[in-house]
Every structure is written in C-alpha cells, then in structure tokens.
Structure 1
C-alpha cells in the first residue's frame, strides 16, 4: 500500500513549557535508537557562520556642524532644539538606532525649513549645504543601525534556545517589526524624510528584543538540521527489509509504528513544519534588509542554508520510513 508520509501536520499538543523542539527531536532520536538497538550518532553541531565584529562594521558619520548663533535664528522651525538635543550629554552617546532617528528628524525638519521664505540668503545657503551633506550620510547612519545596534546584533548572533513545538509567541510581532524596518529603508531610499522620521525605530527594536524570535529561529533551524542528519546516520545502515524477514510482523515493528505516529509525526514533523512557516514569513524580510550589507552572506548561511539542510535531511528520513512501510507490514499512515 502506497502511503504518503510527507504532509506536515498541525496537531495540538499539551507539553511542558521547556519541552521545545530540540527536546522533542532528542527524545525521538533516543527512542528510535533504542528500538533499532543502535547507538545514536553523537557528532558535534557545526558552528554558525561567523559575523563580522561590530567595530569592523561601524562607519563614522561626517561631522556636519551648524553655527549655534545661526541656529538660534532658525528657532521658528525648531532646528535649535534639535541641535541642542544632539549636543546634550545623552545626545553625545546616542546608540546607532537613536542616532539614525535623530538624523531623520533633522532632515525632515530641515526640509520644511528650506521650503520657507528666507531673507538671510547666507543662512539659507548654509542650511542647503547642511541638508545636502546630511542626505549623503543618512545611508551610513542606517547601515550603522542595521550592523551595530546591540538589539539587532543579539538577534543576528542567535541564542542556544530552541523554539516550542508549535505556536511560538512573537511571530506576528517580529514580522511587524521587520516590516516597519523595511518601510523605513524604503522611505530613506525615496528620500521621504517626513515618513521615515515618523517610524518609531526603538519600538520595532523593542519588539525584536522582547520575543527574541530571530535568534531562536536560526538556532532551531541549525539544531533541527543537525539532529535530523544524526538520525539519518543512525538509520543509514539499517536495511528496512532486515526488520521484517519474509514480511513477518513482530513486537519491534509495532513499537516502531508507535514511535512513528507518536513522536515523529506528532512532534518532529509538527515542529519542522512550524520552523518552515516561520522561515517563510520572516527570512524574506530579513534578507531585504541585509542583502546589500556586509552581513548578507553570513545571514544567508545562518537562515536560508540551514533551512535547506533541515528540509533535505527531513526528506531523507521520511524516505527511510516510506521504504520501511513498503517492505514491512507496518501500514503507517499520516494523520489528516
């Protein structure tokens, strides 16, 4: 009987809070090894692709100065308050994200100033020069935020904590934050300073920090791919036909059937299905942000390549079960 084992299932599970996907994979691996009487593979998980250091990525912003005496003359368009903010004790130690926010607000305010009528042509000329210089340096400020902000850096470096089996918290919030940062990137490319300055960068970073989804997703993909590869090492020398000579039923086959339905289908396939969904939702947004940066190659390996590895190893493992099912009286079926 030809059985399709590939559909990935969404099954509600009640599990303890620390029974995340990595624990499910480990549990399944141990049970399968026990039934097959084969020691589980124990190879070290490869390191993630290295990220360039922050200090090597940060670029200095051009030092654009506006004489404070002239700035007071622009009080009616609030440039004086922005200049005062930048020269304050807090302004001198702005993070990369706060620096970008300041630069965008300054550009937006300055653009409005230049649209007004000016009697002081010397000051107008100076403001126009500052505006041009600020426009040329805004890409540096944006890249500094992408590449060196501490919150984003934490997400990109990853954390050794897997996501839960299903319904991970913060997926929609992470999608929202990445979408807003992509909108910001688009507004900057369009030189739409007013729209760009209205995006609350700190709020988006707070969402990423709060849920930590990207950091956990990249670890989960890498861990899942590695554990599935170990499972395939375990089964590679187990010929399915050897488990049921002359297609005879046995207690071992019944136990294998239980392991398949209870641990592989209900947990491992469920988990990898969820990881696949998260990857499809979030990776395109992350790629759009970083594709023209120095971190693009490393992030592609950390997300896209590990996702491909996971899917490849999962397919290999499903093929083993399909072969076993076709050669032995298991009558395995995937729940619908």
Structure 2
C-alpha cells in the first residue's frame, strides 16, 4: 500500500520553543523506543569556516574634493555630502553606511555633470571624481556584503532551529534579500538614482530582527544530520524482524501511530517548510555572493545541506513504504 505524505493538522505542542530540533529529537526517541534500539548520538559536524573579515575587506580609494568655490558646491548640493563625510560620524562609517554615502555621492555627481559650468577646471574635477567613484563602488558594495555585522551573523548561523511551520520573519527576510539584489542590479547598471534610494539600513534591520537565514542554515544542517541517524537506526529493521510471516502485533500498531503523529504530522511537515524557505531564499543569497570567496562555503551551508536533507528524507520514506507493503501497518496518511 502506498504511503501518501499529506500533512495532518495535528495539535502541536503549545510550547513556544517547540521548534524543529525538538520534533526531530522526539521522533527519533519514539522510533528507537518502539524498535527497542539504542538511538544514535553523533554530534552535528561544524560547517566549513568562513574566510575572516580582515582577509575579505578591501581599502576604499581615498578620493578627496578640492572645491574652493563654495558657491559651486552649494549649487550642486555637494557641500552637504562633503560635510557629512568629514563629520565625526562620517569618519567612522560602517561598511553599509559607507556604501549608502558612496551611492548618494554618485547620484549627486551625476546630477552635477548635467549642469552648465563656466569653470572648466571645476567641471573636469567633478568628472574625474565621478569616474573614480564609479570604479570603486564595487569595493564598497562587497565590503558591506563581507563585513557587515548583521550579514556576517546570518552567514555564520546560530544554533537555533526554526519552528515547525509559519516561521516568523520569512516574508521580511525575502523582502530584505530582494532589495539587496535589486541594489546589486542597480549598481551593475550604474543606475545611481535608483541605487541611492534603496534603504540599506532598513533591509539589514529586518535581517537582524529575525535571524531567519542564520536559523534556516542550522535547521537544514540539523535536519539532514538527524535523518542520517534515523536511517542508520532503521536500516536493519525489516519485515523479518517486525512481522515474521506477516503477523500483526502491538509493536506494529505503535509504529503506525509514531508514523502518523510524529513523522507525517511533524517531520514531513517541517521538511516541507524548510524546502519552501530554501527554494525562495537561496537563489537571492546566491545571486548576492556568486563569484565571491564566500560562494562555496555558503553553498555548503544551504544548498548542500538542503539536498542532503531531501535525499535522506526520501530514503526514510522508502523504508516506511517498504515496511508498509510487507507488514500489516495500513499506513495511508489519514488520522
């Protein structure tokens, strides 16, 4: 009989911290108890280390203005930006604030160059600075991607799994990553008007508020690891040991209950949610970090872990399907 993996609307634990790791742990414990086996206790392997920030950060070229004509700088609106950069706060800009400043400066310089100037030397100076700033904007962008504290925390991950379903912060995380990829696109297109309007700090605040990416990568890795342990636990359990000659037993009835309540109701539901998050967020994250030194370690943390989870889950489902076809379990995904 084929097993239909239809998520059940079961009443989950009311505990606010009943996340995927708790469900996986409970399922493995229940399965080990019914099969009268010792559950595996292998620890989760640490992911590949990320390259240190100091080895990724590049020095932004120091381009200075020499605008002796105060009227000219005011007319063009550069005086405010120059004053901002030379302020006590401007001197210690974070990578994200530095990027925002560079984009606003490029947008302002682009506007300045559309005006008519009597002083050709001043115009040439503006053009020279504009070209230099365009050439270095990529450094500012990648410094933000590589060294911003919020992004770094998301990439490193935290040991906290996501809830079984409807994890808060998914929509906000998708929005933040989408805005950052749009920013990347605008920079590649040299659309300084659009790029300067992207509120970088707001997107980073959304990522910081929910830590969704950090929790997703940990959840993917942990789920794959737990499923490996489950498959190791069940690999030698078959109809010869559980239902010789096709006989029914109390053990089989308890197994059927474990399948319905914990596997279908929680584990399969949880893996479906993780797959949905991964499929929508990873392409955005990959776009941001493609062809950078962080692409490969991030691929391992997200994409590799995701495929490992799916493969191990498929193997576990096949075990249930085989057992259901050989023993009187009558598993059909219904209550």
TM-score, normalization by structure 1 = 0.97
Name the structure 1 match of 2:143: 144
Distance 1:252 1:138, change over 3 A: same
Q: Indicate if the aligned counterparts of 1:155 and 1:214 stay in contact, CA closer than 8 A.
A: yes
**Against the structure 1 CA distance between its residues 10 and 71, is the aligned structure 2 distance closer, same or farther, given a 3 Å change threshold?**
farther
Structure 1 residues 10, 284: CA separation in 2 closer, same or farther (over 3 Å shift)?
farther
Deviations 1:284-313 (A, max 9, x none): 111111112110000000000000000011
Q: Residue 174 of structure 1 corresponds to which residue in structure 2? A: 173
Q: Which runs of 5+ in 2 are unaligned?
A: none
Aligned pairs for 1:62-141 within 5 A = 62-70=61-69, 73-141=72-140
Verify the 8 A CA contact 2:239 2:246 in the aligned structure 1. no
Deviation at 1:46, TM superposition (A): 1.0
- Looking at structure 1, the residues matched to 271 and 54 of structure 2 have their Cα atoms a distance apart, in angstroms, of 36
C-alpha displacement of 1:11: 3.0
CA contact (8 A) 1:40 1:234 kept: yes
Identify if the C-alpha distance between structure 1 residues 148 and 263 changes in structure 2 by more than 3 Å, giving closer, same or farther.
Answer: same
| CA distance in structure 2 between the aligned counterparts of 1:334 and 1:282, rounded to whole angstroms | 30
Q: Distance in 2 between matches of 1:318 and 1:12?
A: 20
Alignment of 1:162-311 (within 5 A): 162-311=161-310
| Distance verdict in 2 for CA 1:184–1:10, change over 3 Å | farther
Is the Cα–Cα contact under 8 Å of residues 28 and 263 in structure 1 kept in the other structure? yes
What is the distance in 2 between the residues matched to 1:72 and 1:157? Answer: 49
CA distance in 2: counterparts of 1:275 and 1:235, whole angstroms:
23
Report deviation, 1:238: 1.6
The aligned counterpart of 1:317 is 316
Q: Of 9, 12, 21, which aligns to 1:11?
A: 9
Distance 1:113 1:90 in 2: 25
Shift, 1:44, TM fit? 1.6
Give the whole-Å Cα distance in 1 for the aligned partners of 2:9 and 2:157. 28
Corresponding pairs, count: 334
SS in 1 for 2:127: helix
Structure 1 gaps, min length 5: none
Q: What's the offset of the Cα at 1:61?
A: 0.4
Q: C-alpha displacement at 1:73, in angstroms?
A: 2.8
Counterparts of 1:180 and 1:335, CA distance in 2: 42
Q: 1:35 aligns to what?
A: 34
Q: TM-score, normalised by structure 2?
A: 0.97
Q: Determine the C-alpha separation between the residues in 2 that align with 1:9 and 1:66.
A: 63
Q: Which residue number in structure 2 is paired with residue 47 of structure 1? A: 46
Contact 1:257 1:332 in 2 (8 A): yes
| Partners of 1:241 and 1:324 within 8 A in 2 | no
Cα contact 2:106–2:133 (8 A) shared by 1:
yes
Q: 1:168 and 1:10, CA in 2 relative to 1: closer, same or farther beyond 3 A? A: farther
Name the CA distance, whole Å, in 2 between partners of 1:60 and 1:71: 29
